[in-house]
Each structure stands twice: as C-alpha cells, then as structure tokens.
C-alpha cells in the first residue's frame, strides 16, 4: 500500500505539471490502471496525441493479457469476481497472487479480491493526492517517472529472493534483452512476452512443484 501511494503521488504530481488535475488522475486510475502506461502517456496527452497515447498504452500493457491467461486456471472458480480480478491484474498484484502464500483457514477468494482492490485503491488515492499536492508545490518534476523503474526493480529482487527456482527471472531478463536488440526499443515488449510465455509453458513441469500443478487443476 505504501509503495502504491508513494508512486501514485509521483504520477499525480506529473499529471498536474502537464496540466491535468486530480480528477484526470482519478479517471486514469479506473480506465487505464497501468502505472507504466500512465507515466509514459502523460506527455503524449499533454501534446494532444491521444491516438499515440492509446496505442502506446496498449503496447506497454499488452503483458497484462499474458498475466490473465496464466491466471485462468487459478481464477476459474471465482464466479463473477473473476472479471474484476482480470481487469485489475497489474504487475504487483500478479506478483502477490500468482502464489497463494497465506495461513490455513483464510478465505482464498476473498483474499484475492481484497488484495486486488487494496492495490488499485491505493494507487488511485496516491494519484489524487499527487494531483492535489502538485497544484500547491513548485519544483522541477524531471525524473519523477523513474519511480516506476524503481518499483519494478524492487518486485524483481523480491521474487528472486523468495523463489528457489530462478529460471523465470533469468528467462525474463534474457528474452527481453535479446528482443530489445532484435526489434528495437518501441517493438520489443510483445515479442519478449510471447517468448517468455511459450518457454515457461514448455518448462512448467520443471519450474513448478508437482503439488502446485495438481492443486491448480482442481
């Protein structure tokens, strides 16, 4: 929650500096809800490049499609809740819910919904607060969007430390670097995600313990 609020404040301040008030940050948190896409699209929206902002947001957030695909088996018994769980599945929520680590006796379904809702509401609250603060503070906001890079780095390190198998992490870095060299800065994201999802699917039995595979099929 602290992470989402703090980085959300950074986004809200950036929006305010480009001429978008707190209500725009609030709306963006519901309609887009992708920190990376929101940070990247701010300058484009300020230049009235709405089409390019939409295309860029789609390209950047396309990875969420793969996140959702990988969670189909996990969410299949969630009923109507699953539509919200898919809609609000961001990087950090995926990192928390792709492994259900919780004490016995906890309502798993309710846990998933509450984690997802807390993450999104924390981001929106931070964004609105940032918009309000941005109208009161005067300073150079250059570099404030680096907060998202710091967040992703933290998530990566946390997953590395908490997991015994580092194949997914190494694969993610290697596939991204190779696709970056082959396809360039603007087109590497989707090819790298395709490579990652295919390789992880082929290596799934080696990566995940047999018990986890059986539990997910139930």
Kindly give, in sequence order, each residue whose CB lies less than 8 Å from that of residue 82, ignoring residues fewer than 6 positions away. Answer: 75, 76
On whether residue 50 sits in a domain, the answer given is: yes
Confidence bin at 215 (pLDDT 50/70/90) = very low
The answer to the question of residue 147 being in a domain is: no
Residues 128 and 213 in one domain: no
Give the separation between CA 191 and CA 188, rounded to whole angstroms: 6
In a domain, 170, yes or no: yes
| Tokens standing for residue 85 | 């769980």
148 assigned to some structural domain: no
133 and 64 together in one domain = yes
Residue 134 and residue 167 share a domain: no
43-52, 108-117, 134-143, 144-153: which is most confident: 108-117
* Residues 62 and 104 grouped into a single domain: yes
Q: What is the pLDDT of residues 121-154, one digit of tens each?
A: 999 999 999 989 887 877 666 666 676 677 678 7
Instruction: Give the domain range for residue 185.
Output: 163-218
Phi, psi of 71 (to 5 degrees): -100, 5
Token readout for 56 is: 């860029």
| CA–CA distance, 108 with 111 (Å, rounded to integer) | 5
Least-confidence region, from 71-80, 86-95, 199-208: 199-208
Number of compact structural domains in the chain: 2
Q: What is the pLDDT of residue 127?
A: 92
89 and 39 in one domain?
yes
User: Does residue 100 belong to any structural domain of this protein?
Assistant: yes
Number of H helices, E strands in the chain: 14, 0
Asked if the structure places residue 154 within a domain, the reply is no
Residues 145-193: tens digit of each pLDDT: 676 677 678 778 877 887 778 888 888 899 989 999 998 877 787 788 7
Same domain, 212 and 176: yes
Q: Can you give the pLDDT at residue 145?
A: 63
| Same domain membership, residue 122 and residue 203 | no
Q: Answer yes or no: is 151 within a domain.
A: no
Q: What is the pLDDT of residue 122?
A: 94
Whether residues 41 and 128 fall in one domain: yes
118 & 178 share domain: no
One domain for residues 69 and 170:
no
Q: Are residues 134 and 180 in the same domain?
A: no
One domain, residues 27 and 125: yes
pLDDT bin (cut points 50, 70, 90) of residue 41 is: confident
Residues across the chain: 218
Task: Evaluate whether residue 190 is within a structural domain.
Answer: yes
What is the token pair recorded at 47? 């230049």
């Amino acid at each position: 929650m602290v992470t989402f609020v703090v980085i959300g404040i950074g986004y809200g301040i950036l929006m305010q500096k480009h001429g978008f008030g707190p209500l725009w940050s609030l709306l963006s948190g519901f309609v887009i809800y992708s920190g990376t896409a929101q940070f990247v699209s701010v300058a484009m929206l300020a230049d009235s490049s709405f089409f390019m902002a939409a295309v860029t947001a789609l390209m950047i957030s396309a990875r969420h499609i793969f996140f959702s695909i990988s969670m189909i088996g996990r969410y299949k018994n969630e009923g109507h809740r699953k539509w919200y769980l898919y809609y609000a599945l961001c990087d950090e929520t995926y990192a928390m819910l792709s492994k259900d680590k919780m004490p016995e006796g906890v309502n798993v379904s309710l846990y998933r919904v509450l984690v997802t809702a807390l993450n999104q509401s924390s981001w929106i609250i931070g964004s609105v607060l940032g918009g309000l603060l941005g109208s009161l503070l005067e300073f150079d906001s250059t570099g404030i969007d680096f907060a998202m890079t710091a967040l992703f780095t933290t998530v990566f390190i946390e997953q590395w430390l908490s997991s015994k198998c580092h194949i997914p992490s190494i694969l993610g870095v290697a596939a991204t670097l190779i696709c970056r060299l082959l396809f360039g800065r603007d087109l590497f994201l989707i090819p790298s995600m395709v490579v990652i999802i295919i390789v992880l699917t082929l290596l799934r039995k080696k990566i995940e313990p047999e018990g986890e595979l059986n539990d997910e099929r139930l």
